[in-house]
Structure 1
Amino acid sequence: MIETIRAAYVIARRDFTAIIFSKSFFFFLLGPLFPIGIAVAAGGLGSQVSQDIDNSVIGVAISPEEADILLATRLRLSRSLGSKSMPELVVLRDFSKKEADIIAKLDSEKSLTAILSGTLAAPVLTGSERDVKRWQGKITLLAETALSQPAMVDVETRFIGQTSSSSERNQLMTAQAGQAILILLTMILAGMVLSNLVEEKTNKIIEILAAAIPMDAIFLGKLFAMLGMALVGITVWSTMGLTVALLVGGNWSALPSPAVGWPIFGVLMIFYFSMAYLLLGSLFLGIGAMATTVREVQTLSMPVTMGQLLVFFLSYSAITKLGEPVEWFAVLFPFSSPFAMIARAAQMDNLWQHGLALIWQAIFTMIIIRFSVMLFRRNVMKSGQAARKKSLFARVTGK
């Protein structure tokens, strides 16, 4: 094991140095220009998730008679203006209208965005500043329409720090952004592992290395060298992005904070990107072991790329289904696990689950690497049990 690690380090250092100090690495650093264009073009992919996240529910704590009138008015306006134009109303029966009770209710009920109290003639809307300002105009329209005699209604607003609903919505936005960044970086960078291996197979360099170093060490070294190159590129891109953001300025406190906090979330982003890269890269190594030409590489890698998109869609659609079977499947399936777990980091503050997930992903990466080595030995080096049987058969038959 120690010798394998040492040999892998030698291969990783060789490949990393050759890539970093090559002329083409500069053009590689220009890569973010393309994913930015792709991200803008694909901005509509999360429309359904955004609708799930922004499903606003306002609790109604007014007299039963006025509540029934308000519900009927909301139904009538929804038919003419559209169901999404009006917030969903839920009547809170036998509920105190005291401000302390209203705040406690908002904190305890994650489904509630705000609470409407008072009367139709003098309504009071309580909630976070963002939610109250968003729905103040619609509540005014509802109250004015519900009154038998047209009158100007002035909605009194009461702001609280942050409701559970708005906090959950912000965390979901962070989870959505984290997954999008991971999938873009992984799909752009992991394919370089495949091209590197096929190039050395064509030049017969890989066979020379295999004669002196165990194949496991070669594959590990190449995989971690490409990961190191990817992390260097990400560091450069992040530095440039932060520099531009600081120069432009902005309200950094308005960024939705993940459940684990920004420092830990940043560390987990690095870990889960590394694991997603290693998982996909090890799979590409297996493809490179079977391919002999560039055309075969393109043919074999296309299903993997499409499969990676399906994996991303699986984890992306499971963001709003935390704890449900489809979300657990995304967490346990190795290739979608990094994306599903980074979404959990944005929504859940317990850290032990991330340790288990990283160990599980690392074990599966080693399994794929081992399988890729077996394929390489059989298809390229012509070694292994199948190759020995074929050689024995040829000696016996004289063919």
Structure 2
Amino acid sequence: MSGFAEKLRCALVIARRDFVAVVFSKTFIFFLIGPAFPLVVGGLAGNIGAKVQQNVERPTIGLAMSAEDNRRMMAAREELDGRMAGGLPDMIELAAAAPGKAFDARSALADGNREVTAVVGGTLDGPTLTATADRARQWVGLVSNLAARARAEAPTAYPDVQVEEVNTSIAKVRTGQIYTAQGAQVLLFLLTMLLAGMVLSNLVEEKGNKIIEVLAAAIPMDALFMGKLFAMLAVSLVGIAVWGTAIGAIVLAGSESLPSLSAPAVGWPLFLVLGFLYFAMAYLLMGSLFLSIGGMAATVREVQTLSMPVSMFQLMVFFFSSYALTMPGTWVEWLSIIFPVSSPYAMLARAAQQPEVWPHVLALLWQAFWVVVIVRAGAQLFRRTVMKSGPARGKARRGVFARFRRKAY
């Protein structure tokens, strides 16, 4: 027990040292404001894209009936506008059809100066709709309704429909909980992918200036690895606290326009606690893997080379967990729960859909066990592949010194 306490004390010393070095550095400010730039660019691109899409896909129906029929169709359209979800397409009068002569609707649709999506000709008793297949299926009922409305000699009143609403249904609750589970998985993936990558380059600088050798000679290697993981986790939590505060202020300012998520099965307070714990476990699991890989990299270039397969691995874990969400109760879901790296994602989704609490206690213990296993294995690998360079250089130096003595004498 004293050995465990000593390792824990050493890990906390390393964690405090790395945490202070990162948080009180000038680059940490840029780390905090870094995610704001993609959000701003994404928001601007989304708004511009929505404006372009709205202008490009604004449909217009051209009227090519008689002058009186065109007027009545326009009046019927104005009367119906606002009663249908999404509004009605615009209508313009192309020309008044000559008596006994059909209007060339195909030429009107091909005319670049008119830019109409469909043409309605014929009469009110027998309207003709000329359009593409998808628009024809979409607007055939609308044209029929407008023609019937325009054909009436006196306006007919539209009856008010009485609506009886229910608060919810079991199907709606299940669907909402699935959306909550998906949103939680996406948020957990984004935070883990954004923050866990810092661990990759954690040891490169200290390996370059030989600090790691001094630390390894003073404390156990697994305690060193665990301390660095704790430090990076604490740094990540500071970043999440800052980002969460900023996003929370934005959400409160525009809460009326934001969609509401369905309450998870375990309730929001426990779900948030589990979300924090599963983020910590996901970060420690991925961080321990990244720390082991980064410990074997000798230069920053090697770390950059390793970043791509590491990111792909994270992406595959997320896709696997998302796929398991669509197959509840199958071996795929159980495999995602048992597999250590995907277990936090799967269990967080389970918390949104299942009210049982005891499986989360077992899952957290299982994930903590694998954190210890991976850290110890990474420390052993680092000691065998990297730290063995010290004795080798010592032997080389003794060999050179012996040859120098033989030559001297």
Taking structure 2 as the reference length, the TM-score comes to 0.64
CA contact (8 A) 2:202 2:291 kept: no
| Structure 2 residue 368 is the aligned partner of structure 1 residue 362 | yes
| Structure 2 residue 7 is the aligned partner of structure 1 residue 4 | yes
Task: Identify which of 19, 22, 28 aligns with 1:19.
Answer: 22
2:278 is aligned to: 272
1:349 is aligned to: 355
SS in 2 for 1:160: coil
CA RMSD, 1 decimal: 3.2
| Structure 2 residue 193 is the aligned partner of structure 1 residue 190 | no
2:232 is aligned to: 226
Q: Which amino acid aligns with 2:261?
A: L
SS in 1 for 2:327: coil
Distance 1:40 1:174, change over 3 A: farther
Distance 1:326 1:303 in 2: 24
Q: Which amino acid aligns with 2:25?
A: S
Larger radius of gyration: 2
2:333 is aligned to: 327
1:374 is aligned to: 380
| Structure 2 residue 311 is the aligned partner of structure 1 residue 294 | no
Equivalences for 1:63-142 in 2 at 5 Å?
none
Q: Which amino acid aligns with 1:298?
A: Q
Map Cα deviations across residues 279-300 of structure 1 (whole Å, 9 max, x no partner): 0100011102211112222223
SS in 1 for 2:384: helix
Q: Which amino acid aligns with 2:212?
A: I
Map Cα deviations across residues 5-55 of structure 1 (whole Å, 9 max, x no partner): 0011100001111111111111111132256479889x9xxxxxxxxxxxx
CA contact (8 A) 1:259 1:349 kept: yes
Equivalences for 1:245-256 in 2 at 5 Å?
245-250=251-256, 254-256=260-262
2:210 is aligned to: 204
Distance 1:34 1:181 in 2: 18
1:241 is aligned to: 247
1:383, distance to aligned residue in structure 2 (A): 8.1
Distance 1:162 1:312 in 2: 31
Distance 1:35 1:284 in 2: 24
1:153, distance to aligned residue in structure 2 (A): 10
2:313 is aligned to: 307
1:171 is aligned to: 177
1:156, distance to aligned residue in structure 2 (A): 5.8
1:189, distance to aligned residue in structure 2 (A): 0.5
Distance 2:193 2:29 in 1: 19
Distance 1:175 1:3 in 2: 40
1:380, distance to aligned residue in structure 2 (A): 1.4
Distance 1:219 1:314, change over 3 A: same
Overall identity of the aligned pairs, in %: 56
Distance 1:287 1:34, change over 3 A: farther
Q: Which amino acid aligns with 1:17?
A: V
Distance 1:378 1:35, change over 3 A: farther
1:30 is aligned to: 33
1:263 is aligned to: 269
In structure 1, runs of 5+ residues without a counterpart are: 44-139, 145-151
Distance 1:9 1:249 in 2: 41
CA contact (8 A) 2:233 2:283 kept: yes
Distance 1:35 1:281, change over 3 A: farther
Distance 1:216 1:278, change over 3 A: same
1:215 is aligned to: 221
Between 270-279 and 237-246, the greater mean CA deviation after superposition: 237-246
Between 242-251 and 277-286, the greater mean CA deviation after superposition: 242-251
SS in 2 for 1:260: coil
Q: Which amino acid aligns with 2:31?
A: F
Distance 1:153 1:324 in 2: 50
Between 295-304 and 22-31, the greater mean CA deviation after superposition: 295-304
| Structure 2 residue 342 is the aligned partner of structure 1 residue 336 | yes
Distance 1:345 1:34, change over 3 A: farther
Distance 2:330 2:288 in 1: 30
SS in 2 for 1:196: coil
Distance 1:39 1:173 in 2: 22
Distance 1:34 1:340, change over 3 A: farther
Between 2-11 and 153-162, the greater mean CA deviation after superposition: 153-162
CA contact (8 A) 2:10 2:223 kept: yes
1:324, distance to aligned residue in structure 2 (A): 1.6
In structure 2, runs of 5+ residues without a counterpart are: 47-140, 146-157, 404-409
1:216, distance to aligned residue in structure 2 (A): 1.1
Distance 1:229 1:25, change over 3 A: same
In the comparison of the two structures, how many residue pairs are matched? 287
